């Protein structure tokens, strides 16, 4: 936007959206902060007055806090690594000319349209059930003892389920990025004597830099708050209690709104720390 005039016009045009979004964000945020300083137990007396920083202190000093932060970060990190790595491989595969390309691409995208609750239930009952699950049958076919996935390998299971949901998104974004790569660049690299791996490392990967950044940032936002997948599978047991899940338990299972709100504020802080951290690492890919 070049001129003074067009800049102020743009501000005016954007104002309604900005105001709406601000309101959308500010109202719940203010309420969360308000409740976090209160002792508020809906079924045990309701609003019992101000407590200062009591809720905050109680939330961090509870033994569940640090494990929940760790669980959150492990899930986010694990899913990011799996979706980005597999997403790049799948995108390169789908970029090859092949028979039935259109159908295959639609099939790859399909998991993204399945609701988290549904997909988690399908995984839980169809694949991971230690008696009737497909994995159990597979294990037995090879003469191995079936694994009780959700209790023995709970973290791995959750990461698998969530990765399966988000892989299509990563693949799709990375596929469009790969398709925009100038084929003459690859041919030039070929002439320059770059073997396959070097071509990937020096040409394809830098070209994908921006798309990978976007995938990481968007997924992080959603992964920090995954809930349904945990709710319907482990219910927060076996070390899969994330920060979001902990807050849910504090508010709804313990009926302690004040404590949960304090946890909400910690969740905001955690999200911001992760965001700053990510922008430091990958944010420069978005410039230029």
Partner 1 sequence: MGRIQLKKVTKSFGEVEVIPPLDLTIEDGEFTVFVGPSGCGKSTLLRLIAGLEDITSGHIEIDGTDATNVPPAKRGLAMVFQSYALYPHMSVRKNIAFPLRMAKLDQAEIERRVNGAAEVLNLTDYLDRRPGQLSGGQRQRVAIGRAIVREPAAFLFDEPLSNLDAALRVGMRLEISELHKRLETTMIYVTHDQVEAMTMADKIVVLRAGNIEQVGSPLDLYHSPRNTFVAGFIGSPKMNLFEGPEAQKRDAHTMGVRPEHITVSDSDGLWSGVVGVAEHLGSDTFFHIHETGLADTITVRVDGEVSFKHGDRIHLTPREDVIHRFDGKGLRLA
Query: According to the binding rule CB under 8 A, does residue 209 interact with partner 1?
Result: yes
List of residues 6+ apart from 230 with CB closer than 8 A: 158, 236, 240, 241, 242, 245
Closest CA to 128 of 115, 108, 147, 155: 147
Which residue, 143 or 195, has its beta carbon nearer to partner 1? 195
Distance separating alpha carbons of residues 217 and 274, to the nearest angstrom: 10
**Sole window of 133-141, 159-167, 196-204, 245-253 interacting with partner 1 (rule: CB under 8 A):** 196-204
C-alpha 212: how far from its chain's center?
14
Q: Name the residue nearer to partner 1 (CB basis): 58 or 199.
A: 199
Distance separating alpha carbons of residues 120 and 230, to the nearest angstrom: 8
User: Per-residue x/- mask for partner 1, residues 137 to 176, rule CB under 8 A?
Assistant: ----------------------------------------
Q: Quick one: which of 72, 57, 256 has its CA closest to 155?
A: 72
- Does 283 help bind partner 1 (rule: CB under 8 A)? no
Among 28, 46, 206, 235, binds partner 1 (CB under 8 A): 206
Nearest to 285 by CA among 214, 199, 201: 214
Task: Please pick, from the candidates 47, 152, 190, 253, the single residue that binds partner 1 as defined by CB under 8 A.
Answer: 190
Do β-strands 46-50 and 38-41 pair in parallel, antiparallel, or remain unpaired?
Answer: antiparallel
Instruction: By CB under 8 A, tell whether 187 contacts partner 1.
Output: yes
**Shortest distance, position 178 Cβ to partner 1, whole Å:** 15
Residues 74, 147, 178, 189: which binds partner 1 (CB under 8 A)?
189
- We find the least distance from the C-beta atom of residue 118 to partner 1, in angstroms, to be 41
User: How far, in Å, CA of 158 to CA of 230, rounded?
Assistant: 7
Q: Helix (H) and strand (E) counts for the chain? A: 14, 2
Residue 207 in contact with partner 1, rule: CB under 8 A: yes
Q: Which of 193, 196, 197, 280 binds partner 1 (CB under 8 A)?
A: 193
Find the binder of partner 1 among 6, 125, 176, 185 (CB under 8 A): 185
179 near partner 1, judged by CB under 8 A? no
Sole window of 20-28, 141-149, 169-177, 200-208 interacting with partner 1 (rule: CB under 8 A): 200-208
Q: Given candidates 14, 118, 134, 192, which one binds partner 1 under the rule CB under 8 A?
A: 192
Question: What is the dihedral angle through the alpha carbons of 260, 264, 265, 271, rounded to the nearest 10 degrees?
Answer: 150
| Using rule CB under 8 A, residue 198 touches partner 1 | yes
CA–CA separation, 164 and 170 (whole Å): 11
Q: Which residues bind partner 1 (CB under 8 A)?
A: 182, 184-185, 187-195, 198, 202-203, 206-207, 209, 288
């Amino acid at each position: 936007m070049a001129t003074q005039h067009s800049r102020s016009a743009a501000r005016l045009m954007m104002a309604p959206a900005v105001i709406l979004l601000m309101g959308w964000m500010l109202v719940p945020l203010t309420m969360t902060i308000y409740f976090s300083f209160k002792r508020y137990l809906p079924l045990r007396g309701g609003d019992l007055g101000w407590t200062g920083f009591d809720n905050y202190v109680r939330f961090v000093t509870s033994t569940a806090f640090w494990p929940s932060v760790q669980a959150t970060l492990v899930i986010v990190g694990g899913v990011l690594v799996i979706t980005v790595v597999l997403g790049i491989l799948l995108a390169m595969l789908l970029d090859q000319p092949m028979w039935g390309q259109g159908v295959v691409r639609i099939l790859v995208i399909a998991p993204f349209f399945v609701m988290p609750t549904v997909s988690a239930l399908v995984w839980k009952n169809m694949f991971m059930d230690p008696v009737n699950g497909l994995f159990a049958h597979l294990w037995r076919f090879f003469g191995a003892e079936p694994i009780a996935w959700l209790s023995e390998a709970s973290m791995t299971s959750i990461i698998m389920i969530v990765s399966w949901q988000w892989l299509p998104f990563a693949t799709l974004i990375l596929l469009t990025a790969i398709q925009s790569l100038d084929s003459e660049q690859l041919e030039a690299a070929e002439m320059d004597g770059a073997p396959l791996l070097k071509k990937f490392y020096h040409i394809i990967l830098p070209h994908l830099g921006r798309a990978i950044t976007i995938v990481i940032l968007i997924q992080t936002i959603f992964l920090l708050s995954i809930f349904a997948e945990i709710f319907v599978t482990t219910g927060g047991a076996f070390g899969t209690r994330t920060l979001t899940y902990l807050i849910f338990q504090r508010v709804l299972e313990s009926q302690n709104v004040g404590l949960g709100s304090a946890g909400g504020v910690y969740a905001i802080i955690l999200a911001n720390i992760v965001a700053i951290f990510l922008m430091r690492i990958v944010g420069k890919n978005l410039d230029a």
